[in-house]
Amino acid sequence: MDLLSFARGPALQWALVIFLLGVVWRLTGILLLGRAPDYSEPRNAPAWPGAFKLILTRSWPKREFAARTAFGETMSYVFHIGLAIVVLGFAPHILLIQSLTGLSWPGLPTGLVTLSAALTAGALAVLLVRRLMHPVLRLISNFDDYFSWLVVMLPVVTGLMATAHAGPRYETMLAVHILSAELMLAWLPFGKLMHSFLVFVSRGTTGALFTRKGAAL
Amino acid sequence: MNDDQTLEQALLRQGVSRRAFLKYCAALASLMAMPASAAPALAEGLAKARRPAVIWLSFQECTGCTESLTRSFYPTLETLIFNMLSLDYHETLMAAAGFQAEAAREAAMARNHGKYLLVVDGSVSTGLDGSYSTVAGHANVDTLKRAAQGAAAIVAVGTCSSFGGIPKANPNPTAARPVSDIVHDKPIINISGCPPIPEVITGVLAQYLTFGAIPELDEHRRPRIFYGNTIHDRCYRRPFYDQGKFAKTFDDEGARNGWCLYELGCKGPTTYNACATVKWNEATSFPIQSGHGCLGCSEPDFWDKGSFYKPLSTPTWSDRAPLAAGAVGGLALGVAAAAVARHRQKRITEEQ
Amino acid sequence: MSGLADIGVRIVAAQDGLSGNGHALIHELDKRLERLAEQGATDAIDLRGLPLSAADLQMLEDFLGVGEIEARIDALGLTRVYETAYAGIWRVTYYSEDGKVVADVLEVTRQPGIITTPPGDVADACGRLREALGDLPPLPGRSTNNCEAS
Ligand code: SF4
Ligand code: SF4
């Protein structure tokens, strides 16, 4: 079996099994967690609108900190949106999703996708440098942060290289690209990348809690 | 037959004029994508070349490669066989048969020992000591080893002799193997394809003849001049790929508009061959031009790389049971983890 | 067969079909012609090795025009040679015996190789001529010399 067949075959299957197992495990584990009964009087009757409010407000820099966080947030947005364009807009990717889920939508031109990928890679690189230079950020970063960065960066870079015919022969590069994406899938449930599933859950919970307590959002 | 004649002498003797030869070289240069200004040098080299003896062995194959070769439009097979090479043994094409044919091969091998070009089509069966495929009581694998000893070089014509091809497809009942698995001490040129493009076969032979050397090969030992680019890189439908315009079925609007066939399983992006440039049937068309995706026939194990009709970016498997099992397993783990956590929480609350 | 009527055919509006490559080629010819004029350097361009559309070829043909010489060579099928209106640029089209184009070349030269008599042919012809001459009564006072050496 050549590398590409391995990547499209057993490797993809295993990566997806691990991904599903991990994601479902963590999600059910967290959602079924028992909550301590709250006997206090709620300050606001239905708490759930607060969940949505916090999800929105936390997606934007707070005015007070804007000057300090704007750069990091902009870069993060560039790479998150860029990544979404690449993952969801590139026709071969859509075909993969379609073959697994049956869902499909029109793709974007290759040029646009390539540009997004380049911007994504650039933003990711900038964010890593920032993480390394910023004393506080560096202090609170651990293996998980760096490894998660790596497994996101790898598919972007290898994908760009495959498109540009850089590095080894295309079929090998394509296989490496697929394998790197599989690494990301397999790692996703077990590290900080799980935030892709949990970010709104945790923000929503916080929002609801704050609303109930009557805290400002 | 005098093997020591130069090609020019042999051609003149057969009534092929020098101008006709020059013209032939112009066509050859054009075919091999050499600069047109190289044609005179090519002519000069070829004129002085000696006609190498060629022994052609057919093993586990469907004769498609020989069929393809006989459809080569330029150089025509006749000119190739009678003028350029001295084809001493080819079971399908020669008149002799039986003992006479075997004798002809032995004689040609002895006479040209160390100098002849060995052409092989078909894979080599190695199962049951090679007894799945025999000619005149000799296993192919033994014939190959014997014939390889005196060969100057070996040309493996077709995906079967180059990479094992369809005989080697899962579960490979005859233990079929490519020539390069059997012979290790001779230069081997693979001309893969199922079948290879006829002009590519003749082009490679002519090139060997002209320069007397093995052409530059890629990592699968294929001549770069014909196998240097993927079908996708030279495909005239490429602009549609780049614009994201795909045919979704073989008869939809996109198919009629000639859009890219990637979604219909085209393997052009990972297939190295000259189809998109040299094309087929006297440069009339090639599969993609006729509306069907590339199967990847010039690549190793193309038969076992998943469906021809599934896009390259999709899994080669279609069984989703393991994924469901993963999800169910995850659910079980999650529930168990939550139960344990709740239990512990309860204990902690009680202890307080 | 249910007939072709079921298969929708889309008529694409006619376009001029020019890719711009023909235009680029003419510029290239200009450079090479200059080199021929100044240094006597010959060159050749394989028209089939370039992505030229039918319209490009037509444009090229019209642009280059037809000069004073045209030759047809009958060897392993036809070869058509003519000088374009720009002296020094020749079009050489080789056909196979069944009339297919096997090579199509623009030569920048004072004389395409296919027209020039091959040296070997001269020697052979000399020999044959001498042989034919042998059948005729010799001219008084002339000896035969050897033409192979020339
Ligand atoms: S039809 Fe195949 S080879 Fe042509 S552009 Fe599409 S994917 Fe590439
Ligand atoms: S288009 Fe692909 S499958 Fe078809 S003959 Fe060419 S290489 Fe083989």
- How confident is the model at residue B79, as a pLDDT? 59
In a domain, A50, yes or no: no
d(C-alpha C29, C-alpha C26), whole Å: 5
For the cut 90, the answer to whether the pLDDT of residue A161 exceeds it is yes
Ordered strands of the C70-74 beta sheet: C43-46, C101-108, C89-95, C78-83, C70-74
CA of B232: which chain A residue's CA is closest?
Answer: A170
B217 and B91 within one domain:
yes
Across the interface, whether the CB atoms of C44 and B23 are under 8 A apart is answered no
B72 shares its domain with B198 = yes
- Give the CATH number of the domain where residue B270 resides: 4.10.480.10
Is ipTM > 0.95 here?
Answer: no
- Report the separation in Å between the CA atom of A118 and the middle of ligand 2, taken as the mean of its atom positions: 33
Name which of B305, B333, B345 is nearest A34 (Cβ-Cβ): B345
Please report the pLDDT score of residue A216 as a whole number. 76
Residues B161 and B267 in one domain: no
Whether the Cβ atoms of residue B29 and residue B22 lie closer than 8 Å to each other: no
Name the closest residue on chain B to residue C80, using Cα atoms: B23
- pLDDT tens digits, one per residue of C35-46: 999 999 999 998
CATH number for B102 = 3.40.50.700
Kindly state whether residues B64 and B167 are assigned to the same domain: yes
The encoded tokens of residue A76 equal 């993060």
Taking CA B196 as the corner, what is the angle to CA B193 and CA B199, rounded to the nearest 5 degrees?
Answer: 150
Q: Which of A194, A173, A175 has the alpha carbon at shortest distance from A185?
A: A194
Q: What is the pLDDT of residue B80?
A: 53
Q: Is A41 helix (H, G, I), strand (E, B) or coil?
A: coil
Global pTM reads 0.81
Domain match, B209 and B235 both? no
Chains C and B share 3 or more Cβ pairs within 8 Å: yes
pLDDT bin (cut points 50, 70, 90) of residue C10 is low
How many whole angstroms from A109 Cα to the centroid of ligand 2?
Answer: 26
- Name the average pLDDT for chain B: 87
Nearest-angstrom CA–CA distance, B7 and B10: 5
Q: Residue B339: is its pLDDT beyond 70? A: yes
Is residue A178 one of the residues assigned to a domain?
A: yes
User: Does B197 sit in the ligand 2 pocket, CB within 6 Å?
Assistant: no
pLDDT digits over A46-86, tens only? 888 888 988 898 888 888 888 888 888 899 999 999 999 99
**Separation CA A51–CA A53 (nearest Å):** 5
Closest chain A residue to the Cα of B332, Cα to Cα: A25
How far apart CA A113 and CA A117 sit, in angstroms, is 6
Domain boundaries, chain C: 14-133
- From residue A195, alpha-carbon distances to A182, B18, B191, B259 in Å are 18, 77, 51, 39
Element (H, E) at A96: helix A91-101
Distance from CA of B284 to the nearest CA of A (A): 28
- List CB contacts (< 8 A) between B36 and chain C: 44-46, 49, 103, 105-107
Question: In which band, very low, low, confident or very high, does the pLDDT at C150 lie, cut at 50, 70 and 90?
Answer: very low
Regarding whether B159 and B27 lie in a shared domain, the answer is yes
Section B231-250 average pLDDT:
90
**Residue B273 is part of which domain span?**
231-304
Of the candidates A16, A28, A107, the beta carbon closest to that of B334 is on A28
| A93/B313 touch (CB, cutoff 8 Å), yes or no | yes
Compute φ and ψ for A131, nearest 5 degrees: -60, -35
Pick the closest to residue A55 from A186, A210, A213, A214 (CA basis): A210
Q: Beta partners for A11?
A: none
Q: What is the mean pLDDT of chain A?
A: 92
Of the residues B200, B227, B254, the one at which a domain ends: B227
Over residues C135-147, mean pLDDT: 68
Q: To the nearest 10°, the Cα dihedral for B159, B163, B164, B170?
A: -110
Q: Which tens digits make up the pLDDT trace of B255-267?
A: 998 899 999 999 9
When pLDDT is cut at 50, 70 and 90, the band that residue B9 belongs to is: confident
Residue B125 has pLDDT above 50, yes or no: yes
Residue A70 or residue B174, greater confidence = B174
Provide the number of structural domains found in chain B. Answer: 3
Peptide bond into A106 cis (omega under 30): no
pLDDT tens digits along A164-215: 988 899 999 999 999 999 999 999 999 999 999 999 999 999 998 888 888 8
- The reply to whether CATH 3.40.50.12780 applies to domain C14-133 is no
Q: Using a 6 Å cutoff on CB, does residue B231 contact ligand 2?
A: yes
Using one digit for the tens of pLDDT, what is the confidence trace for C83-132? 999 999 999 999 887 787 888 999 999 999 899 998 889 998 999 998 88
Supply the range of the domain harboring residue A131: 69-186
Place of tokens 């394998």: A179
Q: Mark which of B210, B227, B244 sits at the end of a domain.
A: B227
Question: What pLDDT score does C149 carry?
Answer: 45
Q: How many domains does chain A have?
A: 1
Size of interface A-B (CB pairs under 8 A): 141
